[in-house]
Structure 1
Amino acid sequence: MLLRYYGKVQHLRRFFTVLLSSLVLSSALAQGVLPVPRFAKREGFTRVVLDLPPNTPYLVSYLPDGIQIRLTGVQAEALSGTINPQDVQSWSYLADPEGVTVRFKTPFQVTEQKGLKLLPLPPSEESASFRLVLDFSAAMLRIDPFLPPPLAFFPTNSQIVLDPGHGGSDPGAVGGVIEKEVTLKIALLVRDYLSQAGALVTLTRDRDVDLSPIKDRDLRARAAMGRPPQQYFVSIHVNSDSGGNGAGIETWYYTPQSQTFAQALQNRMIEMTGHTSRGVKRAPFVVIKETFVPSALVEVGFASHLLDSENLRNDVHLQRIAYGIAQAIRDQYPAVPINPILPVPPIP
Structure 2
Amino acid sequence: MRWLWSLCFLWSLALAFPRVGVHEGFTRLVFDLPSAGVAYRLDQEGGLLTLFFSGLRAEARDLLVNSPEVASVQVVPEKGGVRVLVRLKALVEVKAQRYADPERLVLDLSLKKAKDPPSPSSSPPARRAPKPPKPVVLLDPGHGGIDPGMVGYVVEKEVVLDVAHRLKRLLEAEGIEVRLTRDRDAHLSPDKREDLSRRAAMADSSRVNLFISIHVNAFPTRTVRGVEVYFFGRAQDPRVVAQVIRENGGGELGKRLTEETKSVAERILSDIVAQANQRYSQRLAETLGRKLSQATGSPYRGSFPGDLFVLRYAKVPAVLVEIGFGDHPAEGRRLREASYREKVAQGLLSGILSFLANGAFAR
TM-score, length basis structure 1 = 0.51
Aligned equivalents of 1:323, 1:334: Cα separation in 2: 16
Q: 2:162 aligns with which of 176, 185, 202?
A: 185
Correspondence 1:55-66 to 2 at 5 A: none
**Superposition pairs of residues 190-229 of structure 1, within 5 angstroms:** 190-226=167-203, 227-229=205-207
How far does residue 242 in structure 1 lie from its aligned partner after superposition? Answer: 1.4
Q: Aligned letter for 1:278? A: R
Partner of 1:298: 321
1:250 maps to 228
Q: Give the whole-Å Cα distance in 1 for the aligned partners of 2:167 and 2:291.
A: 13
User: Take 2:160 and 2:289, find their aligned partners in 1: how far apart are those partners?
Assistant: 16
Alignment of 1:1-348 (within 5 A): 156-226=133-203, 227-254=205-232, 255-334=278-357
Aligned letter for 1:290?
Y
Opposite residue 320 of structure 1, the aligned amino acid is K
Aligned CA-pair RMSD: 1.6
The answer on whether the counterparts of 1:220 and 1:290 sit within 8 Å (CA) in structure 2 is: no
- Identity, in percent, stands at 38
- Tell me what 1:145 maps to: none
Question: 2:179 is matched by which residue type in structure 1?
Answer: T
* Separation in structure 1 between the aligned mates of residue 346 and residue 219 of structure 2, nearest angstrom: 26
Q: C-alpha displacement at 1:333, in angstroms? A: 2.5
CA contact (8 A) 2:200 2:314 kept: yes
Quote the offset at 1:287 in angstroms: 1.5
Q: C-alpha separation between the residues in 2 aligned to 1:265 and 1:272?
A: 10
Unaligned runs of 5+ residues in structure 1 are 1-154, 336-348
Unaligned runs of 5+ residues in structure 2 are 1-131, 233-277, 359-363
State the distance in 2 between where 1:320 and 1:184 align. 15
Aligned residues: 182
Return the alpha-carbon distance in structure 1 between the equivalents of residues 305 and 181 of structure 2.
23
Q: Distance in 2 between matches of 1:168 and 1:264?
A: 30
State whether residues 231 and 304 of structure 2, in contact with CA within 8 Å, keep that contact through their aligned partners in structure 1: yes
After TM superposition, what 4+ stretches of structure 1 lie above 4 angstroms from structure 2?
none
Please identify the structure whose Cα radius of gyration is greater. Answer: 1
Which digits, 9 at most, give the CA deviation of each residue in 1:250-277, with x for residues without a partner?
1111133310011110011011111111
Q: Indicate the residue corresponding to 1:90 in structure 2.
A: none
Q: Name which structure has the greater RCO, CA cutoff 8 Å, separation 6+.
A: 2
Distance in 2 (CA, whole Å) between partners of 1:327 and 1:156 is 21
Once residues 355 and 225 of structure 2 are traced to their aligned partners in structure 1, the CA distance between those partners, rounded to angstroms, is 28
Counterpart in 2 of 1:5? none
